[in-house]
Structure 1
Amino acid sequence: MFLACSGCGDNMVSGERTSYSVKESSAHEILATAFKAIHQTTMMMVQTRNAIIELLHNLIEECNEDEEDQEDSVDEEEEFNRQMEQAIQESCQDVQSSSRAVH
């Protein structure tokens, strides 16, 4: 009777080992899948972050270009106004000179 129990015990131990081996294998697969999912999620987050940084960089560049264009536009407008003022003064001087010559 002792021998029979001993044999049963060996089968149970090997069965338990097989059961643990399957459980360990399943746990390993689950962990591997979880780490792959974490890696993929991390990569997506990095790609999203990089895309946001690129968009912000482009937006800042556009704003800087717009400011430069506005500054250029203001400079051009000031130059135009200065030229117009000079032309008006010259015209007034010409009119005054002409009216003096007539009198």
Structure 2
Amino acid sequence: MDTDDLSREAYDGILIQAERLTHDLTLHYGVLSGDCKNEAEYLKKAEKMTREIMKADDWEIDDLFWGNPPEKEKLESICRKILKNIEQVRSIPFEKRKFDF
């Protein structure tokens, strides 16, 4: 699937939130959508990736951001917000989510 297939709630809650920190983080969440069949799978994988980022060592974070890592506190704050947003999206029945297409 493509990020265009995500509901507005999922797109805003994950990709737009990631962009507030750095475009590099947004790219990782965007690429992740290509490995998913639907939004439910995307939310599951985005949650897993976010939790892995939060547990990553400094060198892994450095690699993830191609040698230009954000401040650790800001990254953790954004990750917590993304996890909260994922839960909020899941609480909305699929048929009530808004889609651009």
TM-score (norm 2): 0.23
TM-score (norm 1): 0.23
Larger Rg: 1
Larger RCO (CA under 8 A, 6+ residues apart): 2
1 or 2, which has the higher helix percentage? 1
